[in-house]
Amino acid sequence: MHTILLVCLALAAAVHPALGQDALRGKRLYHEVGRLSGAGVSCIDCHGGLPGALHGIGRVGDDPARIDYAIGAVTQMTPLRGRLSRQDMADLAAYVARPAVPSPEPRVSTSGAASLPYMPDRLEFAGAATGMVRLSNAGAVALRLDARPALAGEHAPRFAIAEATCAEGLVLGEGESCTVTIAFVPDAGPGLRLAVLRLAHDWIGGATSVPLIGRLSP
Ligand code: HEC
């Protein structure tokens, strides 16, 4: 009887490594458990980025019980009460122990009108023109795009997606990238035209957003 149980447990652990400790999932939780659980605050907001040791977070490595205790005992952590499962705590503790765990690393670069100051993570226009946004994955774990590129924001109608290799379902392996060509279609009148290109994906934040800025002089 006992032997059968042990064999089953061993098999479950082998088939479902996720039931053990998943440092990659823990990394995501550390950064956005506030958004995912409704708590509103995430570990990184108070404990800072890892590796680091703000408020003793470094002592948590592979010790999920310490997280459980802290959630009950630390006043500042009250918003997290009742929102983390045992699996969440195990994964968080695994991440604290292995902050260098390979993960997706979305990066944005842009190329646009050459006369404007080079801002690598946003796209600026001074008049009708096109510019390009490149999303790349600098991490060793694949990044998956969850939706096609979308425009949002106050002046979204002033921008258009002219061409895109970024597409729903696209998987970017390490070092791979995709692009979106944006056309700025100015209307009359001076001032700023602001929008955002949203690239939804399966990593922290659920999306990478790239500001689009049109500056029209009088
Ligand atoms: C709103 C701020 C805040 C958030 C969010 C927060 N903590 Fe804390 N946490 C603290 C503070 C402040 C302390 C230190 C309390 C002290 O030293 O008296 C602490 C202490 C701890 C401790 C105790 C460290 C020890 O010495 O044993 C652990 C473990 C811990 N936090 C884990 C986490 C984890 C994991 C998360 C995310 C799920 C998290 N905390 C989110 C503020 C926060």
Residues 124-138 have pLDDT tens digits of: 998 999 999 999 999
Q: How far apart are CA 132 and CA 130, in angstroms?
A: 7
In a domain, 48, yes or no: yes
pTM: 0.82
Quote the pLDDT of residue 180.
Answer: 97
Cβ atoms of 186 and 158 within 8 Å: the answer is yes
Span from the CA of 19 to the centroid of ligand 1 (angstroms): 24
Tell me the CATH number at 24: 1.10.760
Task: Assign 52 a pLDDT band (cuts: 50, 70, 90).
Answer: confident
Q: Assess whether the C-beta atom of 134 lies below 6 angstroms from ligand 1.
A: no
Percentages helix, strand, coil for the chain, rounded to the nearest 5? Answer: 35, 30, 40
Q: Of 63, 97, 131, which marks where a domain is finished?
A: 97
CA distances from 159 to 83, 90, 184 (A): 40, 45, 5
Span from the CA of 62 to the centroid of ligand 1 (angstroms): 15
Phi/psi at 89 (5° precision): -65, -40
Q: Which residue's CA is the closest to the ligand 1 atom numbered 23?
A: 70
Task: Assign 71 a pLDDT band (cuts: 50, 70, 90).
Answer: very high
Q: Assess whether the C-beta atom of 66 lies below 6 angstroms from ligand 1.
A: yes
Is it the case that residue 4 has pLDDT exceeding 80?
no
In a domain, 10, yes or no: no
In a domain, 141, yes or no: yes
Q: What is the number of structural domains in the chain?
A: 2
Ligand 1 atom nearest to CA at 33: 38
